[in-house]
Amino acid sequence: MSTLRGIAVIFDLDGTLVDSEPNYYEASRQTLAAHGVPDFGWAEHERYVGISTLETVALLKERYGLGPSVAELLADVNRRYLRLARVATHAYPEMRGFVELLAGEGVPMAVASGSSPEAIDAILSATGLGAFVPTVVSADEVARGKPAPDVFLEAARRLGVAPADCVVLEDAAPGAAAARAAGMRCIAIPYVSGQADAAGFAGADLLLRGGQAAFTARAAYDWLAGLAPAAGPR
C-alpha cells in the first residue's frame, strides 16, 4: 500500500516541472520587437513570472501602448512559444524523478498552469511527462488566473479529491498564493531566488529558497510521506 495514501499532487508547469521561462521570454521579446519595442530584457520578464500568458500580454499591451488587440498579441506569443517549446524544453531531472516516484505509488497528479492548453500539451508531449500526468488544467479554462485559486480547484475537481488533500508545487509567488487560497498545502521552489521573500510565498508549507538546486525527489517524497497520516479519510 502506498505510504502517500490520501494525497494528490498538483504541479505548476513553467519553472516548476520544466524550465520554460527562457522560451516565454524569447517569444515575448520577439513579439514586442515586431511591434516596435526593441529592448525588452530578462529583468522585466521576471516581473511576469507566475501569471498567465493572457494576463502578461494584456499588461505588456498596456505598458507599451501596443496597437493590436490582446487576442492578436496572445496568438503571436503563443505561436512563437510553441515553435520554441517543441524543440527546446528542459524538464528538471529531480522533478522528473519525483513524478516517476509518485506515479509508481499511484498518487493522483495534475498539472495546473497559466499557459494555454496547446502549450501545456506541447511541453508534456515533448518531455514525455504527459505519460505520467494526464490530468491538465489551463488558466484559459477557468474564470481567473493565479493568484486566484480557480485553476487549482478545477484540478482537484477533475482528480476527484478534496482541496485539503492536495499538495501544490509552485515556483512563483502568485501560484503559491493561489494554492493557499484554494486551501491546499504548497511546496514552493522559487524560480527567481530574489523573490523568495515575496508575500505570496509566506503561506507555503515548505519553502526551498535555493529553488530547483535545493529540490530533490527523495526529500520531497519523504516530506509528503510525513503528511500522509493527516491527509484525508482512511
221: cell is: 517524497
210, 219 contact by CB (below 8 A)? no
* Strand, helix or coil for residue 63: helix
pLDDT score of 229: 59
pLDDT score of 186: 98
d(CA 132, CA 157): 18
* Strand, helix or coil for residue 135: strand
d(CA 59, CA 56): 5
d(CA 151, CA 112): 6
The percentage of residues in the chain with a pLDDT greater than 70, rounded to a whole number, is 97
Quote the strand ranges of 31-134, DSSP E: 109-113
pLDDT score of 192: 87
What DSSP character marks residue 106? T
pLDDT score of 230: 47
pLDDT tens readout for residues 52-79: 889 999 999 999 999 999 999 999 999 9
Residue positions annotated with a catalytic role: 12
Please provide the average confidence, as pLDDT, over all residues in the chain. Answer: 93
Provide the greatest CA pair distance for the chain. Answer: 59
Q: Is the dihedral of CA 159, 165, 171, 176 positive or negative?
A: positive
Which tops the pLDDT comparison, 76 or 232?
76
pLDDT tens readout for residues 96-106: 999 999 999 99
What DSSP character marks residue 124? H
Question: Residue 192 burial (CB < 10 Å; 0-12/13-18/19+)?
Answer: middle
97, 219 contact by CB (below 8 A)? no
Q: What is the mean pLDDT of residues 19-34?
A: 94
* Strand, helix or coil for residue 162: coil
Q: Is the pLDDT of residue 234 over 70?
A: no
d(CA 132, CA 97): 11
Q: Is the dihedral of CA 188, 194, 198, 200 positive or negative?
A: negative
